[in-house]
């Protein structure tokens, strides 16, 4: 997606080895105009797939996912990150370990908002090792819902997440696919 790639090139900050900071338009400050374009792009890509709900992970996924849900005219469901397991029959939980930070959290879905009639689009800001997306997929299985697709804003294509998800048969659409990045040469996208 052209507008997103342009903003990454213009404002993204590469921090070795593998961190890309996009705080100026996505993670700390949010550009609502760009978010609306991103939401419409997801809606176009996943049009006709029968999506009943958009699902995202707090908190950086919320802005783009809200705009996708608006464009698709479906509700947004937010998966919460909890520090530890909560015993509650109305919650589905699964542990997610971040490779980047080596920390774990319990990804949590309130059972009443997703059920077996749902065909969900999972949206997240970054895809690297695929741990968060895989956790979200596990929660959808616990709720007996099906996954219509996975929409990602920024994919680090040199990390294994994309291939792992595609190998499981998921429709993964990433708006900006980064082939390589370093502080000196900046960001290079996958040729498409």
Binding site for a second copy (CB under 8 A): 23-24, 27-33, 35-36, 53, 58-59, 62-63, 66-67, 69-70, 73, 75-78, 80, 110, 112-113
- Using the minimum distance from each CB to a second copy, give the nearer residue, 28 or 86: 28
Q: Half-sphere exposure of residue 145, counting CA atoms within 13 Å on the CB side?
A: 29
Class of residue 192 by CB neighbours under 10 A (exposed 0-12, middle 13-18, buried 19+):
exposed
At its nearest, how many Å lie between a second copy and the CB of residue 59?
4
Nearer to a second copy, 68 or 165 (CB): 68
Least Å from the CB of residue 136 to a second copy: 15
Which among 78, 64, 51 is positioned nearest to 139, based on CA atoms?
A: 78
Whole-angstrom distance, CA of residue 91 vs CA of residue 113: 10
Give, as one character, the DSSP assignment of residue 92: E
Is the CB of 39 or the CB of 172 nearer to a second copy?
39
Smallest distance from the beta carbon of 153 to a second copy, in angstroms? Answer: 15
Dihedrals phi, psi of 71, to nearest 5 degrees: -65, -30
Structure tokens at 105: 């959290």
Most distant CA pair in the chain, distance: 51
11 or 158, CB closer to a second copy? 11
Query: What's the min distance (Å) between Cβ of 128 and a second copy?
Result: 20
| Nearest to a second copy of 57, 165 (CB atom) | 57
Q: How far is the CB of 184 from a second copy (least distance, A)?
A: 23
Closest CA to 7 of 180, 176, 181, 191: 176
């Amino acid at each position: 997606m052209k507008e997103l790639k342009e903003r990454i090139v213009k404002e993204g900050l590469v921090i070795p080895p593998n961190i890309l900071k996009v705080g100026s338009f996505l993670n700390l400050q949010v550009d609502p105009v760009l978010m609306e374009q991103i939401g419409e792009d997801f809606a176009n890509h996943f049009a006709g797939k029968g999506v009943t709900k958009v699902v995202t992970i707090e908190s950086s996924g919320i802005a783009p996912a809200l705009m996708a849900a608006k464009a698709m005219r479906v509700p947004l469901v937010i998966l919460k990150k909890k520090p530890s397991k909560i015993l509650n029959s109305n919650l589905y939980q699964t542990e997610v370990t971040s490779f980047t930070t080596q920390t774990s959290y319990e990804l949590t879905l309130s059972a009443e908002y997703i059920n077996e009639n749902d065909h969900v689009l999972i949206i997240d800001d970054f895809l690297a090792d695929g741990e968060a997306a895989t956790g979200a997929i596990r929660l959808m299985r616990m709720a007996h819902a099906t996954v219509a697709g996975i929409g990602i804003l920024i994919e680090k294509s040199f990390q294994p997440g994309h291939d792992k998800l595609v190998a499981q048969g998921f429709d993964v659409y990433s708006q900006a696919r980064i082939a390589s990045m370093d502080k000196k040469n900046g960001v290079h996208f996958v040729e498409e």
